[in-house]
Structure 1
Amino acid sequence: MNSTTIENISKYEGQEVILKGWLYNKRSSGKIHFLQLRDGSGFIQGVVVKAEVSEDVFENCKKLTQESSLTVKGLVQKDDRAPSGYEILVKEVTPVHIAEEGYPISLKEHGTDFLMENRHLWMRTPKQNAILRIRDEINLAIRQFFHDRGFVLIEPPIITPSACEGTTELFEIDYFGENAYLSQTGQLYAEAAAMAFGNVYSFGPTFRAEKSKTRKHLNEFWMIEPEMAYVDFEGNLKVQEEMVEYIIGRVLENRKIELKILQRDTTVLEKIKAPFPRITYTDAVKLLQDGGFEFQWGEDFGAPHETYIAEKYDKPVFITHFPTKMKAFYMQPDPNNPEVILGADLIAPEGYGEIIGGSERIHDLELLLKKIEEENLPREIYEWYIDLRRYGSVPHSGFGLGLERTVSWICGVDHIRQTIPFARTLNRVYP
C-alpha cells in the first residue's frame, strides 16, 4: 500500500493509501465520522462509515481529540467539493498520540493577541498554513530566478560594525566590549561581492529597531538584495519587473489550493506582467496635491499616499527619482539633476505599499567621500566600503525586496505578522 501526502493525493485516485498526520476537526452523525485530517502538506476529509469498518476502528475515532496524531488507511475518492478535490473512505485508524483535552485554538473566533501568543499552534490552521506554504513557494521562486540568471548567493554578516541606512533604527549589541549592531541590510556586503562575482544576491534576516505598530512593519524580517556590476538604473528596474512577474507566475501555477483557501482574487495577480508603469517622485507629489493631500516636495510618502498613487494603476508602479536628501548616502544622484537620485520604490497594488527599494549606486570615489562627509558618517568604519571605489570601481545597481510584504500582498493578508512563522514586533518576542 502506498504511503503519500495530501498534496500528492491526486496521483492515487481509486487506490488505497496510508496517510500520517493529525486530526484538525471531527464531526459525527452516529453512523459516520467525518475526520478533517491534515499532514502538513494540506487538508482532506476522511469518511469513516460504521458499517464498513471494524467496531474497534469506529470506537477509536470516538476517542480522537482535536490535534491527536494518527495514521489512516483508506481509499482515495474524487470529491469536487473539497479544496483538494478528493476525500478518503477510511478503512483503518491508528492513533499515535491522543492530544490532551482543551486544545487552545478551537474553531471559534479568537483575538489576534491570543492567536499570536499561540503562534506555535495557530500555524496549524488552514489559512495560516496556506500563507506559510505560499511563502515557501515565493522563497523557492526567488532563488530559482536568480540561479537561472547566473547570480551567486552571498550570505552577508548579521553582526555589523556600522549602520547602512540610519543610526536611529539599529539594535545595538555588546560585541566583546565593542559596540556592534544587528544588520539593517546586507547591501554593502553584497556590493563587495558583486565586484568579485559580477551578479550576486543575499537572502537573509534583517533588523530594524523602529518603534512602529503599523500592519506593514516587523522588527525582524527577511530581505532579498541583489547587486549587479555594470548594470545601470534602467537595467535595475528591468530585473525587478522580471522577478516580480516570475514570482507571481510560480505562485499562480503551484499554489492554487492555498490561494483558494485564502479566497484570494487571482484575477488581480494575473494582470501582473512587465513592464510596470512609472511615475517620478515630483509628478507623484503633484498627483497627491491635485487629489487634496497637503504634501510638499521633499516629504516622505506614508501609507495613504502610496495607496492613493497605487490606485491609479492595476499593476505595481515604480516611483522614481526621489529627492537625494531623503535617501541613503550610497545612492547615485541623477547627472541631469543632482537634487534627485537614480532610484525607485516599487509600490504594490491594493494598498500593500512599498515592496522594493533600489537604486544605481555611487561608483565615483570622490562623490562617495563627499556624501560620507556630508552625512557625518565615521569614515574609518566605511574604509572597506570605500576600497570598492578605489580598486576597479564600475557602475552598479541593486535593490531590496521585503519578503514578508511580498507574501502579504500576494496572499491578500491584512497584517504582515501573519506572513512570517514567528513575528517579532514592538511588543512581541514570544513565542
Structure 2
Amino acid sequence: MSRQLDYLVEIKGNELLLERFIDAINNNTCKTAKEYPEPYLLVTGEKFLNSRVIDYFFESRPFDKNLYIDFFEKLRKLESRGFNNYSYTIGLWIEKRITKKFFKITGNDWDKVKTLDSNLELSFEEIEILNFICYVAVCHIKYGASYETVTAKEYFDIVTQLGSKEVVKLKKEGTGKLPKNITHYKDNDLTCDANDVFATVKIKMKNENEEAYHNALIFINKLLKTDFPKSFEINFSPKTKELLPLKGLPKCGQNYLFANAVKYQNLHPEIAEYINLAKHKWEWYINLEDENCAMPSTFAVFALGLNNEKYFDVLIDYFQTVAEEHQSIQEKFTPVFLDKFGINDRSIKVYISCILSMQEHPHNKAFISYFTNEKNLNLLMESKAHFSEYYFTEENLKDYSDSGNDVQEMADYCWESVIYTTFGQVENFDKITKQLTEKEIEIFNKLRTQ
C-alpha cells in the first residue's frame, strides 16, 4: 500500500498550479513546509515536492543563463539547506543536457570515465549552459560540504574539455562578485589575494613584523564576513618557518600564520575574531585531508589555547563544534595542553571536551600521571557526577531526545571513553592502583563503576 502524501508530485495535470509556484518563488512569497521533505508551500496552502517544481521549471523555461541563475539564487535563499536541497536535481539536468550528449560514460558511479565525442559541436545555447555549469560548480564550492569540491572539479573539467575559457577566467579573477578591496591587498610588507571560486587565500610577506601579520588577519577577517566559501585554504610560506609546538601537526599556511601571529599579544583579538568567523561544523581546510582533516579555525584555536588559560572557553566551544566522526587532528593537542597547564578545575573541562570531540581519543601513558593524586581524581569524580551538565550541549540533548536515547545512558557511554583515554585498558589498572593511597584507590574504583 503506497504512503498517502500531503503534497503533490505529479507535473502532468498540475501545470497551472506549478506556474503559481514559479511566480511565488520569483516574487519571494513561496515558503517551505516544516515537515520532511519540506515541500514548497503557497500562501493559499498548496504544497508541491521541491524537485518536481524544479523539473517543471526546466521543462517550461527555455534556457537563459540570467533567468536560471536568478531563479536558483531565489531558491537558495528559500530552502532551509540552501543550495544543498536542490543540487542533485540540477545535476541530473546537467547530465541530460550536456554530459550524456557530449561524452561517452563508462565505469560505475565511483569510477566513471568520461570520453569526449569530438565530432559534436555546441550550439550557442549549449555554450551558455557551460557558463551556467560554472555557476553551479561555484555553488558546490561555496555552499556544499567540503567533499563537493570533487563535483565542482568534474564540472570544471567538463566545460574546459568542451572549449570554454570560463574556468581560466575564474582561476584568475574569481567570480568577480566580491569587491577588489576585499579580494586584494598590498603594502610595502604584505600582498594578499583571495579567489572565491577556488577558495584560496594567498599571503606573501616581504617583511615579517607585527603590522604585517595584523594586516593579514584584518584582510582574512574582512573576507570571511562576505560570501567567501566556508571551506578554504590559506597559502602562506614565510621566511620564518615557525610552527605550533604540536608534534605531527601538518606544515601548512594556517600553521605558519597563527604560530607566528600569536606571538604578538596585540593581535590576539584579531585571532579570536578569525576563530568566530571561520569555525563552521562540516567545513574544512581544503589543503588538508585524511588524518590531518581540520575544521577552519583549528590552528588559531590551538595557538590561543596554548597561550593563555583565558582562552579555555574558546577551546571548549571549538571542541563542541567539531564533527567528531570526521576529525582527529586534535589528539595532537591534548598532551601538549596538559604539559602546559596540568589539571585543575578549569583545564579538566578542556581535557574532557577534547576527548569527546572525536570518536575515540587514543590513550597516552603520560595522561595517567596527571590523575595519580586525590585532588585530580576528585575533579574527575565531579565531572562524572555532573557529566551531562558540563559536557552535553543543547544540540546534544536535542539529538538524544529526538533519537530516543536516554541522557544518562549516553553520559555513561561517553564516560567510558574518558576512562579509556585517561587510564588505558583495564589490564593496566592494577599497575595504576599500586601508585595510589587507599583513599585514592577508593575514588579510582568509583570512577570505573556506573
Q: Do they fold alike, i.e. is TM over 0.5?
A: no
| Higher RCO by CA contacts (8 Å cutoff, separation 6 or greater) | 1
Structure with greater helix share of residues: 2
**Superposition TM-score tier, normalisation by shorter sequence:** under 0.3
Give the strand-richer structure, 1 or 2.
1
TM-score in terms of structure 1 length: 0.27
